[in-house]
Chains A and B, each alone.
Chain A
Amino acid sequence: MAALQSVVQSCLSTTTASSFGSCKGGGGASSASANVMAVHDQFPAGLRVLVVDDDTTCLAILEQMLRRCLYQVTLCSQATDALNHLREKKGYFDVVLSDVHMPDMDGFKLLECIGLEMDLPVIMMSADGRTSAVMKGIRHGACDYLIKPVREEELKNIWQHVARKKLNENKEIEHSGSLEDNDRHKRGINDVEYTSSVIEGTEGTARTRSQKKRSSGKEDEDGDMENDDMSTSKKPRVVWSVELHQQFVSAVNQLGLDKAVPKRILELMNVPGLSRENVASHLQKFRLYLKRLSVEQQQSANAFCGPVESNVKLVSHGNRFDIQALAAAGQIPPQTLAALQAELLGQPVGNPGSTIDQPAILHASLQRPKRAPVDHGVAFGQPLIKRQSNVSVHFPQCIISAEDASAGGPWRSNSLGTVAPNSNLGGFSTQNSNVFMDTLQQEQRPQPKRHQQSLLTEPVRTINVQPSCLVVPSQSSASFQAGNSPASVNQSCSFNRSTAIDYSLLSAQSNNNSSLNIGRISNGHHKTPGILSGYSATGSLSTPSSSVIAESSISPQNSAVTYSDARQLTGRLHNMSNIQDLYVPKSGEMLDQGAYRNLGFVGKETRIPSRFDEFESQSNLNHGNIHAENIGNPVKQEPNMGFVDNAKGSPIFQQFSSSDLMSVFNE
């Protein structure tokens, strides 16, 4: 109780510092409750509110209303201004009120930025009160959505979001044990950051530790860092620009999220002026962000059936099938699907003549009604289980017949859930598992326990991404069986040597996973070992990101296919390819096994910067190029941004960006 109160106090302290000091004096439980009351009398007053709206009329009215609530109001007519403001005065504002439609930056993007960089409650406002718009706001993490005209009574109440947030954080602090390993705890620390310096003077027992930590972190954050933007503050602070953040993320990827410690990250980033503490605090935020992200996705997955879209092009032996599988949940608007489809069809394909497009599938998916969340869950989490028999049967054979390929139709119609059924196609099952795993990874990442990484060996490390793993479907029966077990996805993931990644833990969460993650999964380096020669030789594969996985896995004419996430920064590509090279021979030995290595994290990483766009469904940021190559040549899918293509192979281009996929799902 006392601890709880101290938190309340701390959260209040930002605004009512002076009164707070006096409150702290009271020790007993009774006085504590009195304190809370006293604080409440004053608390909302002085709340620091940042209002962002391009509509000056609304701005003027909001200002007046907020002023009458005794809040401290700062007005911004541009989102970019607001962001700069927030960056300069980190920790100053308690809550942000933002319009949804703004010319320079969409309100949701602003929301994303704020969510990424600072953990502030953001309240969206719009005249558009339609459910879809409000839902969008919720999905983006807005803590409230006010429909214009905003009334004074509503504004009076916004302090509750601040208080709630602080209280929640406090609870988490209480529950968490050790500072270092616990994400939750970090979150708590993070929150403390927003409280004013007054807190640091308090001697609340519950918070002493975090406080201490925080204060040191604060110093560091203020520590020397050359940055032009921050000229205003006396000590320059680190501004985590997109580039810097990307560097950071790639460093984390290299190390693996679990193993990433600030010192190592700092070394990898090699940015002059950046201190360990800067990195540490950013790492905390980053983890928090990932966690929130997963929660968000989980929720949205529950709310909607996540659309999964996979474009699959099959190449088996001499026969090439071009299957464009769009397994889309009902949520995907038909137009979008159509657009995607068009895009896909428009894509250059290695051997246009030989490829068979199956638009019918698309239609099937289009017609899919909205799926119940339950179905969704099934689709994702249980495909392996459900289709187990199929998988086991077909896998070892790894023979994909024309019928199978065409069978995609029915499968499609099943949409996501159906993806699993596809497991008939060895490839598909792989895909599922991949998706699965990726999803799992996503979900897991934020979780304190990450087992998946632990098993990775050194070579993996270079590739780094924690959950990187090879899924070997060929072991199908056994491995998929494992799927049945509580740990649903127990894919024998062989990595390079003996590295095995156990996803069983991950699988536990699988049911919760949202299809949203699929988009990321799509990123893939394909490497088709020589054995695949038929495959690769026949033609370059053009696969949209998501399909990539499925495709190669399908290919298994007893060939090993390595997937890795291609979305990486340039520097890392090299590593990747090298590793792959190393790997190739191995995979060859593993014939029969569609080896899949999914660097989920990498995918995610790239995604983070692009995420703002993705939600908008207009995002173009990551256009993946897929290169199909023979044996030695990895098939890569790379984001456009800053990618150097190592592959010599004929690049086949997919305009289809994973982010697009994502956006579709989101819609």
Chain B
Amino acid sequence: MLGLGVDRLRADMNRLLAMLFHQGVLDEQFLQLQQLQDESSPNFVSEVVNIYFQESEKLLRNLRALLMDREFSDYKKMGIHLNQFIGSSSSIGAKRLRNVCVAFRAASEQHNRAGCLRALELLEHDYCYLKNKLHELFQIEQQRVLAAGVRYPIQQIN
């Protein structure tokens, strides 16, 4: 029964991942990330992703603060933030966020404030979406690990 649960959870995970890939939210870099996870760092993916979320929220706050400023003119700083955002997003395989950031950067380079605002909104939206989905993913994974852990002693007993 529990073993079935594990399989079902794994299937759920795969389904979720497939959907995110299909939607273009994630790309294969995320799989690379998963491959980096090994015995020496069993929670590598979730750790990194959590770091990413923290950093991203900081960046999003900064970007919003920059854009909300009435006399905003520091497009260069915004570009630097965006570059970092692009770097970290692409590093964890957050493809869609990365693409939005690229568009954002293009708008900021043209000093297109309206475009920047639109991009920021999209960015925030997509960020929330990604965060929710990844949390969901990690939750399923946790359940799976728990289920697998539960099954282990049972196996021994048998």
Contacts and interface: CB of A to CB of B under 8 A. Distances in A.
A126 B90 CA distance: 11
Contacts of B92: 57, 61, 149
Interface in A46-71: 54-58, 60-61, 64-65, 67-68
B36 A148 contact: no
Interface in A513-543: none
B87 A64 contact: no
Contacts of A64: 36, 41, 44, 48
Given A101-B83, A127-B90, A57 B32 contact: no
Contact of B29 (A55, A56, A127, A149): A149
Interface string B34-70: 0010101100100110011001000000000000000
B84 A55 contact: yes
A58 B87 contact: yes
Highest count of chain A CB atoms <10 Å: which of B32, B51, B55, B87 = B87
Contact of A60 (B51, B83, B93): B51
B107 interface: no
A64 B36 CA distance: 7
Given A101-B83, A149-B29, A152-B32, A58 B88 contact: yes
Given A55-B88, A56-B55, A57-B92, A126 B83 contact: yes
A64 B93 CA distance: 16
Contacts of A126: 83, 87
A149 B44 contact: no
Contacts of B36: 61, 64-65, 68, 152
Contacts of A65: 36
Interface residues of A, number: 24
Interface residues of B, number: 23
A94 interface: no
Contact of B32 (A67, A125, A151): A151
A117 interface: no
B47 A54 contact: no
Nearest to B88: A57
B32 A99 contact: no
Contacts, number: 66
A482 to B, nearest CB: 48
B91 interface: yes
A58 B44 contact: no
A58 B93 CA distance: 11
Contacts of B51: 56-57, 60
A349 B138 CA distance: 68
A602 B11 CA distance: 70
A203 interface: no
Contact of A127 (B48, B84, B93): B84
Contact of B91 (A57, A68, A128): A57
Highest count of chain B CB atoms <10 Å: which of A58, A103, A128 = A58
B74 to A, nearest CB: 14
A61 B48 contact: yes
Interface string A125-152: 1111000000000000000000011111
Contacts of A56: 51, 55
A55 B38 CA distance: 23
Given A55-B88, A57-B51, A57-B55, A149 B83 contact: no
A58 B91 contact: yes
A131 to B, nearest CB: 15
B80 interface: yes
B45 to A, nearest CB: 10
B86 interface: yes
B55 A55 contact: yes
Contacts of B44: 64
A60 B88 CA distance: 10
B55 A149 contact: no
Contacts of B41: 64
A419 B109 CA distance: 34
B84 A101 contact: yes
Contacts of B52: 57
A99 B80 CA distance: 12
B111 to A, nearest CB: 12
Contacts of A67: 40
A53 to B, nearest CB: 8
A151 B47 CA distance: 19
Given A149-B29, A151-B32, A55 B47 contact: no
Contacts of A103: 80
A372 B48 CA distance: 47
Contacts of A61: 33, 36, 48, 91-92
Interface string A398-424: 000000000000000000000000000
Contacts of A68: 36, 38
B90 A149 contact: yes
A152 B32 CA distance: 8
Nearest to A125: B87
A413 B40 CA distance: 64
Nearest to B102: A127
A281 to B, nearest CB: 37
Contacts of A55: 55, 84, 87-88, 91
Contacts of A151: 29, 32
Contacts of A60: 47-48, 51
A150 B83 contact: no
A408 to B, nearest CB: 34
Contacts of A58: 87-88, 91
16 contacts: A55-B84, A55-B88, A55-B91, A57-B55, A58-B88, A60-B47, A61-B48, A61-B91, A101-B83, A101-B84, A125-B87, A127-B83, A127-B90, A128-B83, A128-B86, A149-B87
Interface of B: 29, 32-33, 36, 38, 40-41, 44, 47-48, 51-52, 55, 80, 83-84, 86-88, 90-93
Given A64-B41, A149-B90, 7 more contacts: A57-B52, A61-B48, A101-B84, A127-B84, A127-B90, A128-B83, A149-B92
- Give the 4 A-B residue pairs with the shortest CB-CB distance, closest first: A127-B87, A127-B86, A57-B88, A148-B87
Interface of A: 54-58, 60-61, 64-65, 67-68, 99-101, 103, 125-128, 148-152
